[in-house]
A = this chain, B = another copy of it.
Amino acid sequence: MATIQDVAAKSGVSVATVSRVLNGSPRVSPEARDRVRAAIEALGYHPNLLGRNLRRTESRMLLVVAASIENPFYAGVVQGIEAAAHREGYNALLCNTDRDLDREAIYLGMLDQRLADGAVLLSPQLDARAMERLDARHPLVQCCEYLDGAAVPHVTVDNRAAARDAVRYLAGLGHRRIGMIMARTQYAATRVRLDGYRDALDEAGIAHDPALVAYGGFDFENGRTAAVALLARPPAQRPTALFCVSDLVAAGAIRAAREAGLSVPADVSVVGFDDIEYATMGEPRLTTVAQPRPDLGRVAVEVLLRRLRAGAEGRSDGTAEPESIDLPHALRIRESTAPPRNAGPREGTP
């Protein structure tokens, strides 16, 4: 394939001038510019980015690392990341770790190999210290999920407030035995949802009952299994509402309720988290907490590029507070929630 030398020869100028045309430098005469453009056209020349990137010592590639990029929740986030990256002239390299620390290490190794300039971590597997060490060499940003102790910026919603809103809504419908299906996880973003759940119970003057909190994972089967246990309790102790840590878990809970002969929402209300597409496809449509997914991705990229550029100019202040951002969430009320049987909504409460 043609190189910049070929273009230079064909248009009768030096490679420097061709390069200047390529990069839009103003110090080129219109005639030279035209001749170079014509030669590029005639030769079907495309700059070899391997050469350019080597010279510029950057790859203009951003890593997007997640347990599973295809997880429906991440769909919109990734879209936001890609769009923002392209707008800034970067490409996004999507990486699936399948929660495997080694696979993640391979991907993050691309930073040291200069195949990528920075990374957005959607579900980090490494520990906080390792993340900080890596971040000292190459800018990182955590998005949606993040590790508690790591001094690496993160972009999320206020998960505690989001959970509080969801459970407050259930309490407002008149529910008193509200269960929660949590996930066992290292992520602070998820763990504080339990705090939000408790906040709302406190507000409503409902005593905490640890037996109403079940722990599993984020998936359909996890949700189903956890819900089976909670719904197997005697009717007087059985929760009349379940707040679930994800929409997939909520779908599992609905399946469990059906299998237990209970109807949703008449016998049990179910609230999810994430607002994935599936939430409106199943029956009943899911009440859930929506996160601004494309925005989460977009802002994460903005933070990352800000750091990348700051670093390129030699600044690495070190101890400055990492720039972390919360974006607004929203409770979407649909058909999987209703007042409990034998207890209308508490209209009287202000």
Contact = CB atoms under 8 A, between A and B. Distances in A.
A53 B50 CA distance: 7
A138 to B, nearest CB: 10
A324 interface: no
Given A54-B54, A78-B70, A79-B96, A46 B109 contact: yes
A150 interface: no
Interface residues of A, number: 45
B54 A51 contact: yes
A50 B46 contact: no
Contacts of A112: 1, 46
Interface in A239-268: 248, 251-252, 255, 258
A2 to B, nearest CB: 10
A70 to B, nearest CB: 3
Contacts of A258: 283
Interface string A1-44: 10000000000000000000000000000000000000000000
A281 B282 contact: yes
A342 interface: no
Contacts of A68: 75
Contact of A94 (B54, B94, B248): B94
A270 interface: no
Given A50-B57, A78-B70, A93-B93, A251 B113 contact: no
A225 interface: no
A323 B72 CA distance: 33
A311 to B, nearest CB: 13
A104 to B, nearest CB: 13
Nearest to A277: B220
A168 to B, nearest CB: 28
A250 to B, nearest CB: 11
A328 interface: no
Contacts of A278: 278, 281
Nearest to A223: B281
B48 A114 contact: yes
11 contacts: A46-B113, A48-B54, A51-B54, A68-B75, A69-B70, A70-B72, A72-B72, A79-B96, A91-B115, A93-B93, A282-B283
